Chain A
Amino acid sequence: MSESTSEVQPQREPLTPEGLAIAVKYDLTEKLMPHLDRHLIFPLLESLSSKELYDEHTLLQLKYDLLKDASMVDYTISLWKELHDGSENVPEELIQQKDDVLKQLETYEKSTSRVLEVFEDPEARANLKQDKVANLQFLESKYQITGDMINDLYKYGQLQYNCGKYHAASDLLYHVRILTTDSNLITSATWGKFAADILTLQWEAVAEELQKLRDIVDQRSFADPLTQLHHRTWIIHWSLFPFFNIENGKESLCDLFFSSAYINTIQASCPWILRYLTAAVVAMNKGPSGGHHGNIIFQKRLKDLIRVVGQEKYEYQDPLTEFIRALYIDYDFEEAQAKLSEAEIILNNDFFLADSAEAFLESARHLISELYCRIHQRIDVNQLSTRLNLSTEQGEKWIANLIQGTKMDAKIDESEGLVIMNHPVANVYQQVIEKTKGLTFRSNQVLSQAVNKHDALVS
């Protein structure tokens, strides 16, 4: 999608022209698309058309181009009609395509009916075991199911998927995976099922498939590191769908993306994913309610994030990562705040992040004020409020909550309109005690580990 396709339509637009420009400038759809499946791109485009960032006609054309080669012929035809202002002269090739697809469906239905029947049969199912080779032999001897039929099954599943019948595709591919011994076929089927489940919004199944895919990609010794890199890139992109839609998804997203292999992939091939990582990390900060443990994890992730953002600064920048950079690398509060308001526009216009926008902004404000309080001794409530994009009243309330919530040592001086922070000087003895606290325990643990290992070896 090129920049030129964007045509501003201010009369219907809640965004200011500048805001729109920002939204368009940092729109990632173009970068994401090469790494997504045709069908997965479709929801992105749908959301784009609802956001009205781009010209309606262009988007339609895009959708049409996108689905032209898929087998969702009916929908394609309707798109075509829409594109040509309701013209009824549907091109021949589309109709031809429709016939072809129907024919193919028919053939595959026939050729795979046998297999599917077997699966319907409870007796046969009961006889299936873990061992796939044995299963194949069993099926072949008893039900005359050959390898070709399984391949047909796979193709049938693919066709169903292409036609947009994701449920059916998911089921078929599931069967294929159970039966086949061909590892390539298994991989393909898993990818297919993953996509199908995403499109049918079965998030639990998706999570399961994701895990399977990760196992395949990470454990299989890829002959070619480049292929592995591509697969990881795909996983990263595809998994954005489940992660921003399920509960605790951001948690898993952070776990996955921060694991060394994937953070490397992000840095090497798709630095724009840092936006989602930033959003997830920041939005996940529950503040004091997250508890001590949660806070430690958050701090660690934040540290990692700051490092990566700093490293990739030269390759990728958007208001979200810039926010992190301004706040934690340059300590420039004014800039951080400016970036935050830009980030708000982006969040609201991003397909994945729209739901997390509130949480992100809230948390980002929290981060700003926290750092601000840490560095300052006396703070003007008014200024802090403007810094947080809040009114004075709201600001005071916010600060009061913050003080209460974090048990910060601070007081509000109402008459002066100040917050006075009291930074306790950490006692040296306290520090030394803190540091050496767990040492005995840890050493003991190490010792017992060593002893156990020795015993295990001796015995």
Chain B
Amino acid sequence: MSKFFAGSDSESSSSDEELYSSSGEEDKDVSSSEEESSEEDDSEDESSDEESDEETGGAKKGTPGYYMRNQFLKGGSSAGADSDEESEDEGKRIVKSAKDKLVDEIDASIKAIENAKRINDWVAISGEFDKVNRLAERAGKQYSTTPPQYINMLMELDEFAQEAVKNEKQAKKKMNASNSRALNTIKQRIKKTSKGFETKIAAYKSDPELYQRELKGETTPQPEATASFKKTTVASTTSTTVAAADDNDGFSTVGKAGKVLQYTPENIFKTLISIVESRGKKNTDRAEQIKTLEELNKVATTPYQKISVLLMLIPIRFDLTSAGSVVPTQNWKAAEQDIRALFTVLEENASTYRVSESASEPEDIEEGPTAGPDGVKEIPGSVTSLIERLDDEFTRALQNIDPHTTEYVDRLRDEADLYTLIIRGQLYLESSLKQGQQPHTSEALSRLLVRRLDHIYYKPTSVIINSERDAWDKIRSADVTSKQLITPRISGDVAVTDKSYTIQLIDRICSVLYQQQSTIFRSKAMLSHIYHYALNDYYFKARDLFLMSHLQSSIHTADPTIQVLYNRALVQVGLCAFRIGLIVECQQSLQEICSSSRLKELLGQGVTKFGQVSAPDKQRLLPFHMHINLELLECVYLTASLLIEIPLMASLGNSIDAKKKIVSKPFRRMLDYHDRQVFSGPAENTRDHIMQAGKALLNGDWTSSRDLLTSIKIWSLLSNAEEIKTMLGVKVQEEGLRTYIFNYGSCYQSLSISILSSLFELSERKVSAIVSKMIATEEIAAALDQKSNSIVFRKGVELSNLQVLAQALADKSVQLAERNERLAAGGHQLSEQGNTSGPNKPSGQSGQGDRYNNDRSSNQRGQNRQGNSGRRENQQPRPIRA
């Protein structure tokens, strides 16, 4: 859209509306509108550079919707930004830091207030005023600055309100009730807020330019201004106790001198109590509290004091950021260090103090808890929760960083520290287990184990081993020797590619989690276990575990994150099957999930393109480094489909049910699309390669098909790419032979096996085995002639259409009869309820409660099984979105 067009359009429409609405106003109150217009002039003079925006903003004054206006304003301001008047804003927009955004928001609100002033809409002003106050407070807290616009606005609004009150008294007609009420509240609120900024307002009044310059010149907050500002805010909160007030005095000294005199070990607990009391209340300044606590931590002498302070400090660090937004990196790191410090204290004093979730609050906080029977004093608190929170925040941070930047990689490096902490936490909890207590009875420990599992289950062996090494290097050996350990300490001589170590590690973690009561732990452990087996090419183990788990039957009621994990495990099992050359199994595992249009959503790697996306949905997404490569997945699925579908297409030829017998719909669709293209150039992307390979194979040209398939670049993502290419080559040869016989068999009377063998570069034995199989399963009407070593095709077996139909009809009637029989055999419902719909469930052949029976019978169904599990996939998107 052109600048001109945008500008003129909004301007003209605004003037129209202004006319319309102002005339409406005039009807009501002529005098006040006159006053207003004069006001307007004043304000326009003062803030001439905002003029254009004001006008566009003013356009919407007639519309009641707050939201609408806001939207419009944003649009308006961005249109205005195009004009060179707001060069300052423009510069900021390019940077787009969070701080600038905040300032922009403040600007927008101020403008809204200006606009509302003109029409004396005090209700709107009051709404915007609240908003701008909140924003300014945030700015003050996070960046320790107060935008000059805000101060300016405060002053103006103050004047305007006073005038309005005067006018109100003089006016003949009264304002409507809600408006006047809003005016009154605003008056009071302005008074209250401006108190907080008295110094600034004074500074601003005396020399606004200087003030602005100062603010821009210094990125760091002015110590004096902030200190006094904070002091007053704290003072104004009614909740603070006398102790807190004392601290404030102290705090101003801190701000200036940077040294603490007032904090002594004696009054630590007093301060702590005051902070506890202020927690969760409005208007508490958390940054302030953190500083206080940091100081306290420095002066704390006894371990109990240290532990108490740290236990208080860490959660407040997280609380500093409001829910839903990301904790800044430095805050996260500070919290991480605090937790580490906490562990150091705890490990040093393991024999005297213990942090436990089950401990009761001590009666006298200064005395501390009394020692238990084993001489250990228990302090209420949870190291698990702290680590969990840290982990959550880490994940959230990763979710919000663009994965293709170096920032993401930098952030990801912090995982090592986090992982170390998790292991440390695990060791701590293990050592605090009572003698003879089984690890699975401690829920906190299990929670940590789940976290640990979450960090490693999707990683290849070498990565896990390296991170294990790093983590264990940071842990002092003295802490480890204490008791029997769930997980082994990695020894230096473990090779980087030693699968047995990681498998054993995950086995051990899972075996503890399997004993947990909660199904969430168990399913999570199970699925991670399966995933890891599959990742390491233990296909049968993974598959058997999958079947034994019976998760298929309950997964659709499970938590969305677990469903995502389930899908991930299923996909990984499919990929694993492909890697070891089980094409059919691979195709079946991936079938449902890959033909879904919601692949990204199912794997937790993206959200739906259309429709609303809620915040929790976004939170559930996996960070980028955990993603399964979708292109590789598609490539594997299509290749597997190709190897199954192409011979099938050839065997069906032009027969009637050629359309019905489709194994992989997506593959067929793409092949059709590829066919329809007028011109097809050389293969460029993965899909092109596969489709052209498919066409080549269908035409009997297996060498070019193989070359196309093996030249796909994405195979290099697999660790044993060369082996896989060789495997694919062999499969293409075999399937090529089958396709060839299907396609061209009817043209031959006999076909020499030796020729086939040279044509497809397969051994004669292999060729005759493949042909024998085709004959035996009646895929082709032919026989082998041993004497001449050739295939002899039988003639006269092609059926006419009528004959085919007759056979189909016969088959259907047999099916019908069988279905009826089954119904009659188990048809209890039929007689009892007269309910004849649907075939009855097959009566349970296996003994009641016989888990293993069911396992294996589902295994027997073999092929269907994964189809079934896949079918449930289809129902999954709904719970995921819910």
Contacts and interface: CB of A to CB of B under 8 A. Distances in A.
Task: State whether these chains interact.
Answer: yes
Interface of A: 218-219, 221-222, 225-226, 228-229, 260-261, 263-265, 267-269, 307-308, 311, 314-315, 330-334, 371, 374-380, 383, 416, 418, 421, 423, 425, 428, 431-432, 435-436, 439, 442-443, 445-446, 449-450, 453-454, 457
Contacts of B785: 376-378
B10 interface: no
A418 B784 CA distance: 13
A221 B848 CA distance: 7
8 contacts: A222-B850, A229-B852, A260-B845, A267-B859, A268-B852, A308-B860, A374-B776, A435-B814
Contacts of A457: 831-832
Contacts of B479: none
A439 B852 contact: no
A415 B410 CA distance: 84
A300 to B, nearest CB: 15
Nearest to A267: B856
Given A261-B845, A261-B850, A379-B786, A435 B811 contact: yes
Contacts of B796: 425
Given A226-B852, A432-B810, A453-B830, 6 more contacts: A264-B852, A267-B859, A383-B786, A423-B794, A425-B797, A449-B824
A264 B856 contact: yes
A446 B783 contact: no
Contacts of A375: 772, 775-776, 783-784
B78 interface: no
3 nearest CB pairs, A to B: A264-B856, A331-B772, A377-B783
A446 B818 CA distance: 10
A217 B792 CA distance: 55
Nearest to B828: A453
A228 B814 contact: no
Contacts of A377: 783-785, 792
Contacts of A425: 781, 794, 796-797
B836 to A, nearest CB: 9
B718 interface: no
Interface in B733-792: 765, 769-770, 772-773, 775-776, 781, 783-788, 792
A423 B810 CA distance: 24
A260 B853 contact: yes
A141 to B, nearest CB: 39
B813 interface: yes
Interface string B699-736: 00000000000000000000000000000000000000
A388 to B, nearest CB: 14
A377 B824 CA distance: 45
A453 B814 contact: no
Given A376-B786, A377-B785, A446-B820, A436 B810 contact: yes
Interface string B78-100: 00000000000000000000000
Nearest to A262: B853
A264 B817 contact: no
B857 interface: yes
A432 B824 CA distance: 25
A332 B769 contact: yes
Contact of A225 (B832, B845, B851): B851
Contacts of A428: 799, 803, 806-807
Given A331-B773, A378-B786, A264 B855 contact: yes
Given A331-B773, A375-B776, A383-B786, A225 B852 contact: yes
Interface residues of B, number: 51
B786 A225 contact: no
B221 to A, nearest CB: 67
A261 B817 contact: no
A411 B50 CA distance: 107
B821 interface: yes
A354 B391 CA distance: 64
Contacts of B540: 314-315
Given A380-B787, A421-B783, A439 B814 contact: yes
A334 B786 CA distance: 14
Contacts of B862: 307, 311
Interface of B: 540, 765, 769-770, 772-773, 775-776, 781, 783-788, 792, 794, 796-797, 799, 803, 806-807, 810-811, 813-814, 817, 820-821, 823-824, 827, 830-832, 845-853, 855-857, 859-860, 862
A308 B859 CA distance: 10
A450 B827 contact: yes
B746 to A, nearest CB: 15
A261 B844 CA distance: 11
B794 A268 contact: no
A70 B308 CA distance: 64
Contacts of A308: 860
Nearest to A441: B817
A416 B807 CA distance: 40
Given A315-B540, A375-B772, A439-B813, A380 B853 contact: no
A265 B854 CA distance: 11
Contact of B821 (A379, A435, A442): A442
A421 to B, nearest CB: 7
B412 to A, nearest CB: 38
Contacts of B772: 331, 333, 375
Given A311-B859, A331-B769, A264 B786 contact: no
Contact of A453 (B770, B788, B806, B831): B831
Nearest to B818: A442
Nearest to B804: A428
B849 A225 contact: yes
Nearest to B806: A432
A314 to B, nearest CB: 5
A442 B783 CA distance: 36
A264 B853 contact: yes
A428 B797 CA distance: 9
A374 B772 CA distance: 9
A225 B831 contact: no
Nearest to B772: A331
A331 B856 contact: no
A409 to B, nearest CB: 12
Contacts of A269: 852
Contacts of B820: 443, 446
Given A260-B857, A442-B821, A371 B776 contact: yes
B674 to A, nearest CB: 34
A432 B853 contact: no
B212 to A, nearest CB: 76
A264 B803 CA distance: 42
A228 B848 CA distance: 11
A334 to B, nearest CB: 6
A6 to B, nearest CB: 28
Contact of B787 (A260, A378, A436): A378
A330 B851 contact: no
Given A218-B847, A315-B540, A428-B799, A439 B817 contact: yes
Contact of B855 (A268, A380, A423, A446): A268
A446 B814 contact: no
B119 to A, nearest CB: 77
B189 to A, nearest CB: 70
A334 B765 contact: yes
A229 B847 CA distance: 11
A442 B823 CA distance: 13
A151 B562 CA distance: 53
Given A439-B813, A454-B831, A431 B807 contact: yes
Nearest to A436: B810
Contacts of A221: 847-849
Contact of B849 (A222, A376, A380): A222
